Amino acid sequence: MSSLSLTTPLALFGMPAKGAPVARTNNVIVGATTTNTAVPDFELTQAAANGDMAAFETLYERHYRRVYSLCLRMLANPTEAEDLTQEVFVQLFRKLGSFRGESQFTTWLHRLTVNQVLMHFRKKGVKLEKTTEEGDELNEIVQVGTDRPNSMPVVDRIALDDAIAQLPPGYRSVFVLHDVEGYEHEEIGKLLGCSVGTSKSQLHKARMKLRGLLTKKS
């Protein structure tokens, strides 16, 4: 795990401000930032629910990059992704008490994140299902394949990230959820409020469009 030297700055941030209203019941965890992998997420959520900011900070340290990456890939906008990551962790803090540990914490947190992103899309009036320019797109992409059978270079991950950002939001959401995050179509259908069939066809169009984008690049 490449956690960089993040523990240092975070520990600095964690210094209680004068008159900080948050109770610190279990400061021991802060002292153990480097070895805290031993403390299960569930225990940390319980401590944090009782106002232990050090426990919450540890949860943040463990999960913020995955939450941010998910937001960033779905939104394709770093500023919005940071704002939403902030919102997710604030929501998380509010809801900690309701986490009973029946599912994995990461699963729970990721669903919370996806829901926040989708809510953000709805607020902005982003339509996830219909994208107008679908019509001839696939044919065109197939043509590219037919003309130049081996035209796509070996996919490098940075190029793929860039290409994902260029997808329409609907394609992007399904692709990120399925191919990056590993969600099943049934779950995606539930989250996005669409059928399994729609999720599948959106995913296929997303992949084909990505192929087109990655081919054009070379």
- Residue 26 is a binding residue for another protein (CB under 8 A): no
- Residue 136 is a binding residue for another protein (CB under 8 A): no
Span near another protein by CB under 8 A; candidates 19-27, 36-44, 100-108, 128-136: 19-27
Residue 27, helix vs strand vs coil: coil
In order of 110, 160, 162, 163, 210, the CA distances from 144 in angstroms are 36, 18, 20, 17, 13
The Cα–Cα gap between 30 and 53 comes to: 9
Amino acid at 138: L
- Residue 132 is a binding residue for another protein (CB under 8 A): no
Work out which of 49, 69, 111, 165 binds another protein, going by CB under 8 A: 69
Work out which of 137, 161, 162, 187 binds another protein, going by CB under 8 A: 161
The Cα–Cα gap between 166 and 210 comes to: 9
Dihedral in degrees, nearest 10, Cα atoms 170, 171, 172, 173: 50
The Cα–Cα gap between 127 and 203 comes to: 16
Dihedral in degrees, nearest 10, Cα atoms 197, 200, 203, 207: -120
The Cα–Cα gap between 162 and 145 comes to: 21
Work out which of 152, 167, 191, 192 binds another protein, going by CB under 8 A: 152
Give Dmax over CA atoms of the chain in angstroms. Answer: 69
Span near another protein by CB under 8 A; candidates 60-68, 99-107, 108-116, 127-135: 60-68
Work out which of 24, 66, 126, 137 binds another protein, going by CB under 8 A: 66
- Residue 81 is a binding residue for another protein (CB under 8 A): yes
Residue 174 CB, nearest approach to another protein (Å): 11
- Residue 155 is a binding residue for another protein (CB under 8 A): yes
DSSP-derived letter for residue 154 is P
What is the binding site for another protein (CB under 8 A)? 4-6, 8-10, 12-15, 17-22, 51, 53, 56-57, 60, 64-66, 68-69, 72-73, 78, 81-83, 85-86, 89-90, 93-94, 138-139, 142, 145-146, 149-152, 154-157, 160-161, 175, 179-180, 182, 200, 203-204, 207-208, 210-211, 214-215
